[in-house]
Chains A and B, each alone.
Chain A
Amino acid sequence: MRWFEQFRMAMSMLFRRKQESAQLSDELQFHLEQQIAENLARGMTPIEARNAALRSFGNPTLVRDEARSTWSWGWLEKFMRDLRYGTRTLLRSPGFTLVSILVMALGIGATTSLFTIVRAVLLKPLPFVDSANLVMVYEHFRDPNNSGDGFNYVAAGDFRNWREQTHGFEDMAAIRGYGYNLTGEHSELPEVVLAEGVSWNLLSVLGVQPALGRGFTAEEDQLEGNHVAMLTWSVFQRRFSGDPSILGKQIHLDTNAFTVIGVLPAGFEYPDSRIQLWVPYAQTFTKQMYDAPDMHQSRVIARLRQGVSAEVATKEVSALQYRIYQANASKPVAEDAVFRPLIDDVVRDVKTPLIVLLSAVGCMLLIACLNVSNLLVARGAARRKEVAVRGALGGSRLTLIREQMAESLLICFAGGSLGLLLSLLATRWLADHWTNLPRAASVEIDGSVLAFSIGLVFLAAILAGLLPAISSTGKGVLAALQESSRSIGGSVSRVSLRKIMLAVEVALTVVLLFAAGCCSRAFCICERPIWAASPTTS
């Protein structure tokens, strides 16, 4: 029951604070009236009675304050008051406020944008079951002049041998890019579509279920198998207006009839968002190519077997590959097999530039904080007398610091809100215009990004506000009072503080410039066409 009383009081103190305050005054007034009445009854004149009562009552404001100090939510009241004062002082110098808010908006906005992208691209797990257990397996040429980046596409013949003769992986699937002219049954307007030849077990390797219909069977994944196709959700919606009756009907790919047997789930785009449909892997090959160990055109994705590491499994594949190499010594067949985790494979081109960019915007945020900090210190010098007077009148240092922190918090909060708006636009733009950004579709601002930017606001507020607040409320109140009547400039220590901050700012700017240089270089590399980056892929 007691907690209920306490809860009731806490709520009443929170929501009916004004009334409670008025009631407290009334309560004390009642006490005073009773005292006056008693004094009158003792035979004093009204004026005497009132004076005597006031004397015995003591300082009514103090009593009031002490009673109020026992109320709950006192901290909230103080905080709100600090915010109110902070708003007022900030509004008195709109130029300073505007500049600081804009600086913070840029810093926080840029950091939030980059964090959103980094989170979506590098940190979020891939949308597959146990995606940490998926690896890509590549062929590897020992001759360094012929090995490109060391990860070569796999020949169909090799993949089939791997899958049949090694058992280190739970399963292996292969994919191969392909293109078609898509028309309907009745020769509707044709369009060029990118398709992917996928081995029949790909869905089970990835752990994905089709949204409609079924996946390919092993019988269909043959050179002479039935012509079947799976649609991605986007082409199903766009070209076939989401009508499930398309299942079992035929579409024409390069004038061959393919039966639609299934539709992939919404948002599932594999290997990337440009792929419109899937066909059986084998049907994208001729007989000769399907068996060849030297037509490096496929990528292989493998799921780890429980208890078998990727290294061990790949070693087995590699040993087999070496036997294939020896059997076909005259052809360009790779000697080894290598692997890399799926997530690394997806983000390999953008990982470094993203991390460099994130560090760069982090630097930018730090510079923004230092800038605002510097402005606050300069302002603190101008407000020195005010602070000194308030200190002399009994304002505790903590109160003064808290108030200045409230100002910096307000600046950062306004800047953060504006920055979040900017970042909404910037992130979308960046995701749309950053060519070859993998997983661009999963870039979105959600709860955790919001939490991140709120965290940034508080961090920035502390970074920008604490130093000026501490320096401007320091010792030497008396000195400030005496000095401020004579001199204009700040004290020596304040000047040196600003010099140090300036030096740190310049240092950070140099780091930022350097990072920008690295960044544009990294960008140039990943903007280069793939064939230029790895000239010996095929």
Chain B
Amino acid sequence: MGKPSDLVQGTLDLLILKTISLEPKHGWAIAKRIQQISNEVLQVQQGSLYPALHRLEQQGWIRAKWSETETGRQAKFYALTAAGRTQLERELESWSRLSSAINLVVEGA
């Protein structure tokens, strides 16, 4: 089971931004979505998810809004801001650079 510290440093922000880039989601859905898409490899713990969400919100990358879930309960939905979208692109780019570099090293060796 992957602990949050096992995630490459700084990628949690990228994962969150990417996950909510299509539609606003609440914290639980973000964690679930990351888990599903990664075939249960990436488990985001609450202890890192919520601080990360709040930090991103403070920095103005994402904006939170309270609305109803399907079950009718009020929940806090996070959506990308315009600045957040630019930030996501920047992070995606740097991630692909980083991961291909790591691949080169790992496979070339």
Contact = CB atoms under 8 A, between A and B. Distances in A.
Given A23-B76, A30-B73, A2 B28 contact: no
B46 A57 contact: yes
B50 A1 contact: no
Interface residues of A, number: 31
Contacts of A237: none
A2 B50 contact: no
Interface string B73-97: 1111000011100000000000000
B51 A2 contact: no
B51 A6 contact: no
A28 interface: yes
Categorize the interface residue count of chain B. Answer: 20 to 34
B47 A13 contact: no
Interface in B45-61: 45-47, 50-51, 53-55, 57-61
Interface in A189-240: none
B54 A1 contact: no
Nearest to A20: B54
A30 B83 contact: no
B47 A1 contact: no
Given A6-B58, A34-B28, A27 B82 contact: no
A66 B51 contact: yes
B81 A71 contact: no
B59 to A, nearest CB: 7
A28 B73 CA distance: 13
A6 B76 CA distance: 18
Contact of A2 (B26, B57, B73, B81): B81
A63 B50 contact: yes
B47 A63 contact: yes
A5 B50 contact: no
Interface string A291-332: 000000000000000000000000000000000000000000
A59 B66 CA distance: 24
A31 B55 contact: no
Contacts of A43: none
B45 A31 contact: no
Q: Is the interface of A mostly helix, strand, loop or mixed?
A: helix
A58 B73 contact: no
A35 B46 CA distance: 11
Contacts of B33: none
Contacts of B57: 9
Contact of B50 (A4, A6, A28): A28
Which of B27, B60, B83 gathers the greatest number of chain A CB atoms within 10 Å? B60
Nearest to B48: A66
A171 interface: no
B32 to A, nearest CB: 8
A62 interface: yes
B40 to A, nearest CB: 14
A3 interface: yes
A13 B59 CA distance: 12
Nearest to A5: B60
Interface in A405-449: none
Interface string A142-163: 0000000000000000000000
Which of B45, B46, B47, B50 gathers the greatest number of chain A CB atoms within 10 Å? B46
A379 to B, nearest CB: 38
A1 B76 contact: no
Given A1-B83, A2-B81, A27 B60 contact: no
Nearest to A3: B60
7 interchain residue pairs of minimum CB distance = A5-B60, A2-B83, A70-B55, A34-B28, A6-B60, A67-B50, A66-B51
Interface of B: 26-28, 31, 45-47, 50-51, 53-55, 57-61, 63, 66, 73-76, 81-83
5 contacts: A27-B75, A30-B27, A30-B73, A63-B51, A67-B53
Interface of A: 1-6, 9-10, 13, 23-24, 26-28, 30-31, 33-35, 57-59, 62-63, 66-72
